[in-house]
């Protein structure tokens, strides 16, 4: 169990921020939102993430029952990751964050409004 999973939370906002904050957390969740992927596929879809960091993120989400890890007894080993039903419940939050970013990104970076979809 991770250190953060051992922490007791009294505030749902603190818990949620702890869960989804960090440079890579939302990227991992977003990548898995509609797909079951192998480790290398996840890594390839998230530019700049190291294997160590991806392993840490996946383990964190597994400990919170956000991500499911399925191991197939094959040679070579095959492992697939997907969002659990609990993890899929984060999708509306991710979509809201994306929508907010689409509406406000241009204020910081662009003279005209553009919409991004991944």
Tens-digit pLDDT profile for residues 35-94: 999 999 999 999 999 999 999 999 999 999 999 999 999 998 899 999 999 999 999 999
Say how far apart CA 108 and CA 10 lie, in whole Å: 35
**What is the pTM (predicted TM-score) of this model?**
0.80
CATH architecture of 3-84: Orthogonal Bundle (1.10)
pLDDT at 95 over 90: yes
Q: Which pLDDT band holds residue 99 (cuts at 50, 70, 90)?
A: very high
Tens-digit pLDDT profile for residues 9-42: 889 999 898 889 999 999 999 999 999 999 999 9
pLDDT at 113 over 70: no
Alpha helices in the chain (DSSP H): 3-6, 12-20, 25-32, 39-45, 51-63, 85-88, 91-109
pLDDT at 110 over 70: no
Extents of the domains making up the chain: 3-84
């Amino acid at each position: 169990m991770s250190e953060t999973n051992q922490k007791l939370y009294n505030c749902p906002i603190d818990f949620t921020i702890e869960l989804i904050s960090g440079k890579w957390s939302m990227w991992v969740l977003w990548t898995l939102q509609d797909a079951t992927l192998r480790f290398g596929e996840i890594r390839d879809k998230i530019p700049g993430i190291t294997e160590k960091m991806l392993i840490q993120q996946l383990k964190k989400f597994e400990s919170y029952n956000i991500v499911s890890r399925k191991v197939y007894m094959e040679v070579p080993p095959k492992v697939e990751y997907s969002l659990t039903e609990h993890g899929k419940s984060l999708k509306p939050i991710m979509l809201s964050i994306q929508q907010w970013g689409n509406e406000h990104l241009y204020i910081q970076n662009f003279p005209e409004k553009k919409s991004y979809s991944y």
